[in-house]
């Protein structure tokens, strides 16, 4: 009886796995096709200084699927990483984002996420350098976001990568800090420009004193280490003012701006540079 029952479970499990595998396989084929047909797109989410000026936009990949609707990156980036498709996909995102940012007549930066698989498989410094050269974007306007999982693969190689990128004028941020291992050794050993505190922490800071203690300490510690701090996932005014009041350098979140299509982001970037010019003129006239 028990044996029969067990067998049934195995069959059910196998059938379930089959469906999952098929689904994944279909999705992989779709993604490969979408990538080669140029059907992927990028949304851009603004980042703000604590004074409220746009400092950068983060490029976030989107997949408008003809039948499944807009597929978020959490669904297809892991698949792209497993299948190696992240290599052409990541290069496409970087090239497209740099091309778009190069058209903005302002010093607003563009932030692009890098994946551990790209780091494993290709020479990222070479790839980034050639994209910058091709698109004409000043290196100082590019910020690359890496996670601890990339650094963990091969610390020495990762250190060489971050050091090399910085030598070329590209900024590097440690993304999703506060999740995973959040090893202090990474902050100590790598020449990052910036730490991005993960939103799972930010969304707790106004109702969980321990979460706030941790975030506040990350801000203090980062500043002592000469790192700038960005808070991601700000959704309420209370979270924003708490962070502003404690010296957080940069803010990102749905409260301030959602990821948006290229045309909207470009319009926002242009308006920002016009306002900046106007401010400048006003100051000059006042004198």
Residues that bind Mg ion (CB under 5 A): 113, 145, 175-176, 232
DSSP codes joined into one string, 57-84: EEEEEEEEETTTEEE-HHHHHHHHHHHS
Report the C-alpha gap between 160 and 189 in whole angstroms: 11
List the structure tokens of 215: 């975030």
Q: Does 139 bind ligand C2E (CB under 6 A)?
A: no
112 beta partners: 59, 144
The minimum distance between CB 20 and Mg ion, in angstroms, equals: 25
How many other CB atoms are there within 10 angstroms of residue 221's CB atom? 14
Q: Does 73 bind ligand C2E (CB under 6 A)?
A: yes
What letter does residue 105 receive in the DSSP assignment?
Answer: S
DSSP codes joined into one string, 239-258: HHHHHHHTT--EE-STTT--
Contacts of 47 (CB under 8 A, 6+ apart): 54, 55, 56, 57, 58, 111, 230, 250, 251, 252
Stretch that binds ligand C2E, among 130-138, 183-191, 227-235, 263-271 (CB under 6 A): 227-235
With CB under 5 to 8 Å by kind, the binding choice for 88 among Mg ion, ligand C2E, none is none
The minimum distance between CB 143 and ligand C2E, in angstroms, equals: 12
Residue span 22-61 as binding mask against ligand C2E, x where in contact by CB under 6 A, dash where not: -----------------------x--------------xx
Residue span 151-190 as binding mask against ligand C2E, x where in contact by CB under 6 A, dash where not: ------------------------xx--------------
Q: Does 72 bind ligand C2E (CB under 6 A)?
A: yes
Q: Which residues bind ligand C2E (CB under 6 A)?
A: 45, 60-61, 72-74, 77, 90, 93, 113-115, 145, 175-176, 199, 232-235, 252-254, 259
């Amino acid at each position: 009886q028990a044996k029969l029952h067990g067998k049934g479970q195995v069959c059910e499990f196998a059938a379930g796995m089959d469906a999952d595998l098929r689904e994944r396989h279909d999705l992989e084929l779709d993604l490969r096709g979408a990538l080669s047909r140029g059907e992927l797109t990028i949304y851009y989410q603004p980042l703000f200084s604590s004074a409220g000026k746009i400092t950068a936009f983060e490029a976030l990949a989107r997949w408008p699927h003809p039948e499944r609707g807009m597929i978020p990156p959490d669904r297809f980036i892991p698949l792209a990483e497993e299948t190696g498709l992240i290599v052409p996909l990541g290069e496409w995102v970087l090239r497209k984002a740099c091309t778009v940012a190069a058209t903005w007549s302002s010093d607003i930066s563009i932030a692009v996420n890098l994946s551990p698989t790209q780091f494993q498989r290709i020479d990222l410094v070479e790839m980034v350098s050639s994209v910058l050269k091709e698109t004409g974007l000043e290196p100082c306007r590019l910020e690359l976001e890496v996670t601890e999982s990339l650094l963990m693969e091969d610390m020495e190689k990762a250190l060489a990568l971050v050091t090399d990128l910085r030598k070329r004028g590209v900024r590097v941020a440690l993304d999703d800090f506060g999740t995973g291992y959040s090893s202090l050794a990474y902050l100590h050993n790598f020449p990052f420009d910036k730490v991005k505190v993960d939103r799972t922490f930010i969304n707790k800071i106004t109702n969980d004193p321990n979460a706030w203690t941790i975030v506040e300490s990350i801000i203090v510690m980062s500043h002592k280490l000469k790192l700038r701090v960005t808070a991601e996932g700000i959704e309420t005014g209370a979270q924003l003012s708490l962070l502003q009041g404690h010296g957080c350098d940069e803010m990102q979140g749905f409260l301030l701006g959602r990821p948006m299509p290229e045309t909207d982001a470009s319009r926002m970037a242009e308006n920002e540079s016009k306002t900046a010019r106007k401010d400048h003129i006003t100051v000059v006239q006042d004198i």
